[in-house]
Amino acid sequence: MKSILLTGTAGFIGSNFVPYFLDKYPNYNLVNLDLLTYAGDLQNLKECENHPRYKFIKGDICNRELVEFIFNEYDIQGVIHFAAESHVDNSIKNPGVFVQTNVTGTFTLVDVAYKHWMEKPFTYKTKYLSTIHNQPSTEASLPRFHHISTDEVYGTLNETDLFTEKTPYAPNSPYSASKASSDMIIRAYNETYGLNTVITNCSNNYGPKQHDEKLIPTIIRNALKGNPIPIYGDGKNIRDWLYVLDHCKGIDLVYHNGKQGETYNIGGRNERTNLQIVDKICEILDEVHPIKNIRHSEQSNRHPEQSNRHSEQSEESSLTTHRDSSSRHPEPNNRHSEQNHRHPEQSEGSSYKDLITFVEDRAGHDRRYAIDATKLETELGWKADENFDSGIVKTIEWYLNKYGIKK
Protein backbone atom coordinates (compact mmCIF):
# COMPACT_ATOMS: atom_id res chain seq x y z
CA MET A 1 0.00 0.00 0.00
CA LYS A 2 1.47 3.34 -1.10
CA SER A 3 0.78 6.62 0.73
CA ILE A 4 0.21 9.71 -1.40
CA LEU A 5 0.23 13.23 0.06
CA LEU A 6 -2.44 15.51 -1.38
CA THR A 7 -2.41 19.18 -0.45
CA GLY A 8 -5.34 21.58 -0.41
CA THR A 9 -7.97 19.03 -1.36
CA ALA A 10 -10.73 20.54 0.77
CA GLY A 11 -11.00 23.12 -2.00
CA PHE A 12 -12.81 22.90 -5.30
CA ILE A 13 -10.64 20.78 -7.61
CA GLY A 14 -9.10 18.66 -4.86
CA SER A 15 -12.45 17.74 -3.30
CA ASN A 16 -13.57 16.39 -6.66
CA PHE A 17 -10.27 14.56 -7.10
CA VAL A 18 -10.19 12.71 -3.75
CA PRO A 19 -13.34 10.56 -4.17
CA TYR A 20 -12.40 9.86 -7.79
CA PHE A 21 -8.87 8.75 -6.81
CA LEU A 22 -9.99 6.70 -3.80
CA ASP A 23 -12.47 4.82 -5.92
CA LYS A 24 -10.06 4.14 -8.78
CA TYR A 25 -6.94 3.14 -6.82
CA PRO A 26 -7.55 0.72 -3.92
CA ASN A 27 -3.78 0.38 -3.39
CA TYR A 28 -3.35 4.02 -2.30
CA ASN A 29 -3.66 5.61 1.11
CA LEU A 30 -4.40 9.33 0.72
CA VAL A 31 -3.19 11.90 3.25
CA ASN A 32 -4.79 15.34 2.83
CA LEU A 33 -2.89 18.32 4.26
CA ASP A 34 -5.05 21.45 4.21
CA LEU A 35 -5.06 24.62 6.31
CA LEU A 36 -8.77 25.19 5.59
CA THR A 37 -8.44 28.84 4.63
CA TYR A 38 -11.38 30.70 3.06
CA ALA A 39 -11.80 28.33 0.09
CA GLY A 40 -11.33 25.08 2.00
CA ASP A 41 -14.38 23.32 3.42
CA LEU A 42 -14.44 19.80 4.86
CA GLN A 43 -18.10 19.55 3.89
CA ASN A 44 -16.75 19.13 0.35
CA LEU A 45 -15.20 15.84 1.50
CA LYS A 46 -18.01 14.61 3.72
CA GLU A 47 -18.33 11.47 1.60
CA CYS A 48 -14.70 10.55 2.32
CA GLU A 49 -14.25 11.44 5.99
CA ASN A 50 -14.72 7.88 7.29
CA HIS A 51 -12.97 6.12 4.43
CA PRO A 52 -10.30 3.72 5.79
CA ARG A 53 -7.72 4.86 3.20
CA TYR A 54 -8.21 8.60 3.72
CA LYS A 55 -6.60 10.76 6.40
CA PHE A 56 -7.14 14.49 6.91
CA ILE A 57 -4.51 16.64 8.64
CA LYS A 58 -5.16 20.33 9.25
CA GLY A 59 -1.97 22.27 8.74
CA ASP A 60 0.10 24.71 6.72
CA ILE A 61 2.29 23.58 3.82
CA CYS A 62 4.76 26.26 4.94
CA ASN A 63 5.24 24.44 8.26
CA ARG A 64 8.37 22.45 7.51
CA GLU A 65 8.34 20.53 10.78
CA LEU A 66 4.79 19.32 10.11
CA VAL A 67 5.54 18.41 6.49
CA GLU A 68 8.63 16.43 7.56
CA PHE A 69 6.55 14.62 10.22
CA ILE A 70 3.94 13.63 7.63
CA PHE A 71 6.57 12.29 5.22
CA ASN A 72 8.20 10.25 7.97
CA GLU A 73 5.03 9.08 9.72
CA TYR A 74 3.29 7.89 6.54
CA ASP A 75 6.37 7.25 4.36
CA ILE A 76 4.93 9.44 1.64
CA GLN A 77 5.82 8.08 -1.82
CA GLY A 78 4.05 10.60 -4.00
CA VAL A 79 2.76 14.18 -3.83
CA ILE A 80 -0.07 15.79 -5.79
CA HIS A 81 0.09 19.44 -4.86
CA PHE A 82 -3.20 21.34 -5.23
CA ALA A 83 -2.85 23.82 -2.36
CA ALA A 84 -2.71 27.45 -3.46
CA GLU A 85 -4.15 30.86 -2.88
CA SER A 86 -6.01 31.22 -6.15
CA HIS A 87 -8.29 34.24 -6.47
CA VAL A 88 -6.91 37.08 -8.58
CA ASP A 89 -8.91 39.81 -6.83
CA ASN A 90 -7.56 38.72 -3.45
CA SER A 91 -4.00 38.67 -4.80
CA ILE A 92 -4.35 42.29 -5.87
CA LYS A 93 -5.47 43.28 -2.36
CA ASN A 94 -2.98 41.12 -0.42
CA PRO A 95 -0.17 39.75 -2.61
CA GLY A 96 2.03 38.72 0.34
CA VAL A 97 -0.26 35.83 1.28
CA PHE A 98 0.01 34.49 -2.26
CA VAL A 99 3.80 34.61 -2.24
CA GLN A 100 3.91 32.89 1.14
CA THR A 101 1.57 30.02 0.24
CA ASN A 102 2.24 29.54 -3.45
CA VAL A 103 6.00 30.10 -3.46
CA THR A 104 7.28 29.37 0.04
CA GLY A 105 4.78 26.57 0.60
CA THR A 106 5.66 24.86 -2.68
CA PHE A 107 9.38 25.17 -1.92
CA THR A 108 8.88 23.61 1.52
CA LEU A 109 6.98 20.64 0.09
CA VAL A 110 9.33 19.89 -2.77
CA ASP A 111 12.47 20.31 -0.66
CA VAL A 112 11.17 17.93 2.00
CA ALA A 113 10.19 15.46 -0.74
CA TYR A 114 13.66 15.63 -2.28
CA LYS A 115 15.42 15.00 1.03
CA HIS A 116 13.02 12.21 2.02
CA TRP A 117 13.30 10.32 -1.28
CA MET A 118 16.87 10.95 -2.47
CA GLU A 119 20.38 10.34 -1.15
CA LYS A 120 21.87 13.08 -3.31
CA PRO A 121 21.17 14.68 -6.69
CA PHE A 122 20.01 12.12 -9.25
CA THR A 123 20.24 9.25 -6.74
CA TYR A 124 17.11 7.85 -5.11
CA LYS A 125 17.36 6.03 -1.80
CA THR A 126 17.57 2.25 -2.12
CA LYS A 127 14.17 1.64 -0.52
CA TYR A 128 12.52 3.57 -3.37
CA LEU A 129 14.37 1.62 -6.06
CA SER A 130 12.73 -1.71 -5.21
CA THR A 131 11.71 -3.79 -8.19
CA ILE A 132 8.12 -4.50 -9.14
CA HIS A 133 7.45 -8.05 -10.39
CA ASN A 134 11.22 -8.46 -10.91
CA GLN A 135 11.30 -5.45 -13.23
CA PRO A 136 13.65 -2.51 -12.56
CA SER A 137 12.26 0.74 -11.23
CA THR A 138 10.89 3.16 -13.81
CA GLU A 139 9.76 6.77 -13.73
CA ALA A 140 6.25 5.51 -12.97
CA SER A 141 7.38 3.52 -9.93
CA LEU A 142 9.68 6.17 -8.44
CA PRO A 143 8.16 8.64 -5.98
CA ARG A 144 6.77 11.56 -7.97
CA PHE A 145 5.92 15.19 -7.21
CA HIS A 146 3.01 16.47 -9.32
CA HIS A 147 2.50 20.22 -9.20
CA ILE A 148 -0.93 21.60 -10.21
CA SER A 149 -0.76 25.01 -11.89
CA THR A 150 -2.76 27.37 -14.09
CA ASP A 151 -2.85 28.76 -17.62
CA GLU A 152 -2.68 32.26 -16.13
CA VAL A 153 1.12 31.94 -15.89
CA TYR A 154 1.21 32.44 -19.68
CA GLY A 155 -0.40 35.88 -19.53
CA THR A 156 -2.99 36.90 -22.10
CA LEU A 157 -3.64 35.90 -25.73
CA ASN A 158 -4.62 37.57 -28.96
CA GLU A 159 -7.77 36.47 -30.75
CA THR A 160 -6.35 33.36 -32.41
CA ASP A 161 -3.35 31.89 -30.58
CA LEU A 162 -3.44 29.09 -28.00
CA PHE A 163 -1.27 28.45 -24.96
CA THR A 164 1.06 25.49 -25.51
CA GLU A 165 3.68 24.02 -23.20
CA LYS A 166 6.25 26.11 -25.13
CA THR A 167 4.49 29.45 -24.55
CA PRO A 168 6.79 31.81 -22.58
CA TYR A 169 5.59 32.74 -19.11
CA ALA A 170 4.20 36.29 -18.84
CA PRO A 171 2.10 36.51 -15.66
CA ASN A 172 0.13 39.71 -15.17
CA SER A 173 -1.28 39.47 -11.62
CA PRO A 174 0.27 38.72 -8.23
CA TYR A 175 -1.61 35.40 -8.28
CA SER A 176 -0.27 34.28 -11.65
CA ALA A 177 3.22 35.56 -10.79
CA SER A 178 3.24 33.47 -7.61
CA LYS A 179 2.11 30.38 -9.54
CA ALA A 180 4.74 30.98 -12.22
CA SER A 181 7.36 31.20 -9.47
CA SER A 182 6.21 27.91 -7.96
CA ASP A 183 6.34 26.25 -11.40
CA MET A 184 9.94 27.38 -11.77
CA ILE A 185 10.85 25.95 -8.37
CA ILE A 186 9.48 22.54 -9.40
CA ARG A 187 11.34 22.73 -12.69
CA ALA A 188 14.58 23.57 -10.83
CA TYR A 189 14.28 20.51 -8.58
CA ASN A 190 13.97 18.29 -11.63
CA GLU A 191 16.83 19.92 -13.54
CA THR A 192 19.20 20.41 -10.59
CA TYR A 193 18.50 17.37 -8.42
CA GLY A 194 16.84 14.87 -10.75
CA LEU A 195 13.64 14.78 -8.73
CA ASN A 196 10.80 13.01 -10.52
CA THR A 197 8.44 15.93 -11.14
CA VAL A 198 5.61 16.81 -13.52
CA ILE A 199 3.57 19.99 -13.89
CA THR A 200 0.06 20.47 -15.25
CA ASN A 201 -1.35 23.86 -16.26
CA CYS A 202 -5.13 23.92 -16.53
CA SER A 203 -7.70 26.28 -17.97
CA ASN A 204 -10.73 27.61 -16.04
CA ASN A 205 -12.45 24.83 -14.10
CA TYR A 206 -16.16 24.65 -13.35
CA GLY A 207 -18.46 22.09 -11.77
CA PRO A 208 -19.66 20.94 -8.33
CA LYS A 209 -18.18 22.27 -5.09
CA GLN A 210 -16.68 25.47 -6.50
CA HIS A 211 -16.24 28.30 -4.01
CA ASP A 212 -18.99 30.91 -3.94
CA GLU A 213 -16.75 33.78 -5.04
CA LYS A 214 -16.11 32.37 -8.53
CA LEU A 215 -17.98 33.48 -11.64
CA ILE A 216 -20.31 30.54 -12.28
CA PRO A 217 -21.40 30.01 -8.65
CA THR A 218 -21.97 33.77 -8.36
CA ILE A 219 -24.18 33.79 -11.45
CA ILE A 220 -26.25 30.83 -10.24
CA ARG A 221 -26.58 32.02 -6.65
CA ASN A 222 -27.50 35.60 -7.49
CA ALA A 223 -29.97 34.49 -10.15
CA LEU A 224 -31.76 32.17 -7.75
CA LYS A 225 -31.91 34.96 -5.17
CA GLY A 226 -33.25 37.43 -7.73
CA ASN A 227 -30.21 39.63 -7.11
CA PRO A 228 -28.17 41.51 -9.74
CA ILE A 229 -25.68 39.29 -11.58
CA PRO A 230 -22.39 41.24 -11.79
CA ILE A 231 -20.23 40.98 -14.92
CA TYR A 232 -16.84 42.68 -15.18
CA GLY A 233 -16.30 45.33 -17.85
CA ASP A 234 -17.97 44.60 -21.19
CA GLY A 235 -18.31 40.87 -20.46
CA LYS A 236 -16.20 39.91 -23.48
CA ASN A 237 -13.21 38.41 -21.64
CA ILE A 238 -12.72 34.87 -22.94
CA ARG A 239 -11.83 31.75 -20.97
CA ASP A 240 -11.42 28.12 -21.94
CA TRP A 241 -13.74 26.16 -19.64
CA LEU A 242 -12.81 22.71 -18.29
CA TYR A 243 -15.23 20.48 -16.39
CA VAL A 244 -13.59 19.63 -13.08
CA LEU A 245 -13.87 15.85 -13.36
CA ASP A 246 -12.20 15.97 -16.79
CA HIS A 247 -9.37 17.88 -15.10
CA CYS A 248 -9.14 15.20 -12.39
CA LYS A 249 -8.80 12.50 -15.05
CA GLY A 250 -6.05 14.51 -16.74
CA ILE A 251 -4.16 14.84 -13.46
CA ASP A 252 -4.48 11.09 -12.94
CA LEU A 253 -2.99 10.37 -16.38
CA VAL A 254 -0.08 12.76 -15.95
CA TYR A 255 0.72 11.59 -12.42
CA HIS A 256 0.90 7.96 -13.52
CA ASN A 257 2.09 8.18 -17.12
CA GLY A 258 3.57 11.62 -17.73
CA LYS A 259 7.23 11.92 -18.62
CA GLN A 260 9.56 13.10 -15.86
CA GLY A 261 10.31 16.82 -15.99
CA GLU A 262 7.54 17.55 -18.49
CA THR A 263 4.66 20.03 -18.42
CA TYR A 264 1.20 19.14 -19.74
CA ASN A 265 -1.59 21.61 -20.50
CA ILE A 266 -5.16 20.53 -19.66
CA GLY A 267 -7.93 22.48 -21.38
CA GLY A 268 -11.51 21.83 -22.39
CA ARG A 269 -11.54 23.48 -25.85
CA ASN A 270 -14.61 25.38 -24.66
CA GLU A 271 -13.90 29.05 -25.27
CA ARG A 272 -16.68 31.33 -24.05
CA THR A 273 -16.98 35.02 -23.21
CA ASN A 274 -18.32 35.84 -19.77
CA LEU A 275 -21.50 37.08 -21.44
CA GLN A 276 -21.95 33.77 -23.22
CA ILE A 277 -21.52 31.99 -19.89
CA VAL A 278 -24.12 34.07 -18.08
CA ASP A 279 -26.55 33.89 -21.00
CA LYS A 280 -26.31 30.09 -21.12
CA ILE A 281 -26.86 29.72 -17.39
CA CYS A 282 -29.83 32.08 -17.44
CA GLU A 283 -31.38 30.21 -20.36
CA ILE A 284 -31.13 26.90 -18.52
CA LEU A 285 -32.51 28.39 -15.30
CA ASP A 286 -35.37 30.01 -17.25
CA GLU A 287 -36.35 26.54 -18.37
CA VAL A 288 -35.81 24.47 -15.21
CA HIS A 289 -36.69 27.06 -12.52
CA PRO A 290 -38.39 30.13 -14.10
CA ILE A 291 -37.80 33.50 -12.51
CA LYS A 292 -41.52 33.77 -11.70
CA ASN A 293 -40.91 31.06 -9.07
CA ILE A 294 -38.41 33.33 -7.34
CA ARG A 295 -40.81 36.28 -7.37
CA HIS A 296 -43.72 34.17 -6.18
CA SER A 297 -41.57 32.97 -3.29
CA GLU A 298 -40.61 36.55 -2.43
CA GLN A 299 -44.25 37.64 -2.41
CA SER A 300 -45.27 34.71 -0.22
CA ASN A 301 -42.56 35.48 2.28
CA ARG A 302 -43.88 39.03 2.72
CA HIS A 303 -47.07 37.69 4.35
CA PRO A 304 -46.45 36.59 7.94
CA GLU A 305 -49.95 35.14 8.19
CA GLN A 306 -49.09 32.30 5.82
CA SER A 307 -49.75 28.96 7.50
CA ASN A 308 -46.43 27.22 7.03
CA ARG A 309 -43.73 29.77 7.66
CA HIS A 310 -40.88 27.26 7.89
CA SER A 311 -41.59 25.61 4.55
CA GLU A 312 -41.92 28.98 2.81
CA GLN A 313 -38.48 30.12 3.85
CA SER A 314 -36.57 26.89 3.21
CA GLU A 315 -35.34 27.79 -0.28
CA GLU A 316 -34.62 31.41 0.64
CA SER A 317 -32.73 30.62 3.85
CA SER A 318 -30.60 27.97 2.15
CA LEU A 319 -29.50 30.43 -0.48
CA THR A 320 -28.90 33.16 2.09
CA THR A 321 -26.65 30.90 4.16
CA HIS A 322 -24.38 30.23 1.21
CA ARG A 323 -24.47 33.81 -0.02
CA ASP A 324 -23.35 35.36 3.23
CA SER A 325 -19.90 33.77 3.05
CA SER A 326 -19.43 34.70 -0.60
CA SER A 327 -18.49 36.44 -3.04
CA ARG A 328 -15.33 38.09 -4.06
CA HIS A 329 -16.94 38.50 -7.46
CA PRO A 330 -18.06 42.15 -7.53
CA GLU A 331 -21.54 43.19 -6.50
CA PRO A 332 -23.16 46.26 -8.10
CA ASN A 333 -23.48 49.23 -5.80
CA ASN A 334 -26.83 50.67 -6.77
CA ARG A 335 -30.04 50.10 -8.69
CA HIS A 336 -29.31 53.00 -11.03
CA SER A 337 -26.33 51.12 -12.38
CA GLU A 338 -28.45 48.01 -12.68
CA GLN A 339 -31.19 49.74 -14.65
CA ASN A 340 -28.72 51.39 -17.03
CA HIS A 341 -26.90 48.16 -17.85
CA ARG A 342 -29.62 45.56 -18.19
CA HIS A 343 -29.13 42.93 -20.85
CA PRO A 344 -30.71 44.46 -23.97
CA GLU A 345 -32.38 41.32 -25.35
CA GLN A 346 -34.88 40.72 -22.56
CA SER A 347 -37.92 42.61 -21.41
CA GLU A 348 -38.40 43.51 -17.76
CA GLY A 349 -39.18 40.51 -15.60
CA SER A 350 -39.19 37.82 -18.29
CA SER A 351 -35.84 36.15 -17.69
CA TYR A 352 -32.91 35.84 -15.34
CA LYS A 353 -31.02 37.77 -18.02
CA ASP A 354 -32.79 40.89 -16.72
CA LEU A 355 -30.54 40.63 -13.66
CA ILE A 356 -27.27 40.96 -15.62
CA THR A 357 -25.38 44.04 -14.46
CA PHE A 358 -22.06 45.34 -15.78
CA VAL A 359 -19.59 46.55 -13.15
CA GLU A 360 -16.19 48.21 -13.29
CA ASP A 361 -13.51 45.90 -14.65
CA ARG A 362 -10.77 44.71 -12.32
CA ALA A 363 -7.13 45.76 -12.63
CA GLY A 364 -4.97 43.60 -14.88
CA HIS A 365 -7.88 41.58 -16.24
CA ASP A 366 -6.41 39.34 -18.98
CA ARG A 367 -8.53 39.41 -22.12
CA ARG A 368 -8.30 35.82 -23.31
CA TYR A 369 -7.00 32.44 -22.15
CA ALA A 370 -7.19 29.28 -24.24
CA ILE A 371 -5.31 26.00 -23.86
CA ASP A 372 -3.95 23.70 -26.55
CA ALA A 373 -4.15 20.24 -24.94
CA THR A 374 -2.75 18.38 -27.96
CA LYS A 375 0.28 17.06 -26.07
CA LEU A 376 -1.86 15.47 -23.35
CA GLU A 377 -4.30 14.11 -25.92
CA THR A 378 -1.71 12.58 -28.26
CA GLU A 379 0.93 11.38 -25.79
CA LEU A 380 -1.29 10.15 -22.95
CA GLY A 381 -4.66 9.64 -24.64
CA TRP A 382 -6.65 12.15 -22.58
CA LYS A 383 -9.99 13.38 -23.87
CA ALA A 384 -12.57 15.55 -22.15
CA ASP A 385 -15.84 13.74 -21.55
CA GLU A 386 -17.86 16.94 -21.19
CA ASN A 387 -18.32 19.85 -23.53
CA PHE A 388 -19.53 23.09 -21.98
CA ASP A 389 -23.20 22.49 -22.81
CA SER A 390 -23.26 19.11 -21.04
CA GLY A 391 -21.02 20.15 -18.16
CA ILE A 392 -22.95 23.29 -17.27
CA VAL A 393 -26.21 21.32 -17.06
CA LYS A 394 -24.58 18.96 -14.54
CA THR A 395 -23.19 21.95 -12.65
CA ILE A 396 -26.54 23.72 -12.40
CA GLU A 397 -28.24 20.50 -11.27
CA TRP A 398 -25.68 20.18 -8.48
CA TYR A 399 -26.29 23.75 -7.29
CA LEU A 400 -30.06 23.37 -7.41
CA ASN A 401 -29.69 20.31 -5.20
CA LYS A 402 -27.30 22.18 -2.91
CA TYR A 403 -29.88 24.89 -2.37
CA GLY A 404 -32.75 22.43 -2.00
CA ILE A 405 -34.53 23.62 -5.14
CA LYS A 406 -36.59 21.14 -7.11
CA LYS A 407 -36.82 21.50 -10.87
DSSP letters spanning 357-393: EEEPPPTT--SB--B--HHHHHHH----S--HHHHHH
Percentage of residues in the chain having pLDDT higher than 70: 83
pLDDT, position 213: 84
In this prediction, residue 293 has a pLDDT band, given cuts at 50, 70 and 90, of low
Do 320 and 349 meet the contact criterion of CB atoms below 8 Å apart?
no
C-alpha to C-alpha distances, 72 to 21, 22, 275, nearest whole angstrom: 23, 22, 50
Active-site residue flag, 389: no
Q: What is the distance between the alpha carbons of residues 396 and 139, in angstroms, rounded to a whole number?
A: 40
pLDDT at 325 over 50: no
In this prediction, residue 339 has a pLDDT band, given cuts at 50, 70 and 90, of very low
pLDDT at 363 over 90: no
In this prediction, residue 133 has a pLDDT band, given cuts at 50, 70 and 90, of very low
Quote the mean pLDDT of the chain: 86
In this prediction, residue 182 has a pLDDT band, given cuts at 50, 70 and 90, of very high
pLDDT, position 140: 59
User: What is the tens place of the pLDDT at every residue in 26-81?
Assistant: 999 999 999 998 888 999 999 999 999 999 999 999 999 999 999 999 999 999 99
- From the candidates 34, 85, 152, 246, which is the catalytic residue? 152
Give the mean model confidence (pLDDT) for residues 196-223.
Answer: 94
pLDDT, position 302: 45
pLDDT, position 130: 65
pLDDT, position 275: 95
Bridge partner residues of 149 (DSSP): 201
| Domain ranges (residues) in the chain | 2-207+242-270+367-386
Return phi, psi of residue 178, to 5°: -70, -35
Q: What is the largest CA-CA distance in the chain?
A: 77
Please state whether beta strands 271-273 and 238-243 pair in parallel, antiparallel, or not at all (unpaired): antiparallel
Do 315 and 405 meet the contact criterion of CB atoms below 8 Å apart?
yes
pLDDT, position 364: 67
In this prediction, residue 341 has a pLDDT band, given cuts at 50, 70 and 90, of very low
pLDDT at 360 over 50: yes
Phi-psi region of 372 (alpha: psi -120 to 50; beta: other; left: phi over 0): beta
pLDDT at 331 over 80: no
- Higher pLDDT residue, 312 or 122? 122
Classify domain 2-207+242-270+367-386 by CATH number: 3.40.50.720
Please, how many CA atoms are within 13 Å of residue 187, restricted to the half-sphere of its CB?
11
In this prediction, residue 297 has a pLDDT band, given cuts at 50, 70 and 90, of low
pLDDT, position 406: 80
pLDDT at 335 over 70: no
Give the mean model confidence (pLDDT) for residues 17-21.
Answer: 98
- From the candidates 175, 193, 264, 399, which is the catalytic residue? 175
Active-site residue flag, 212: no
- From the candidates 34, 60, 85, 151, which is the catalytic residue? 151
pLDDT, position 160: 86
pLDDT at 159 over 50: yes
Please state whether beta strands 229-232 and 263-266 pair in parallel, antiparallel, or not at all (unpaired): unpaired
- Higher pLDDT residue, 190 or 329? 190
Active-site residue flag, 152: yes
pLDDT, position 311: 36
Q: Which amino acid is at 288?
A: V
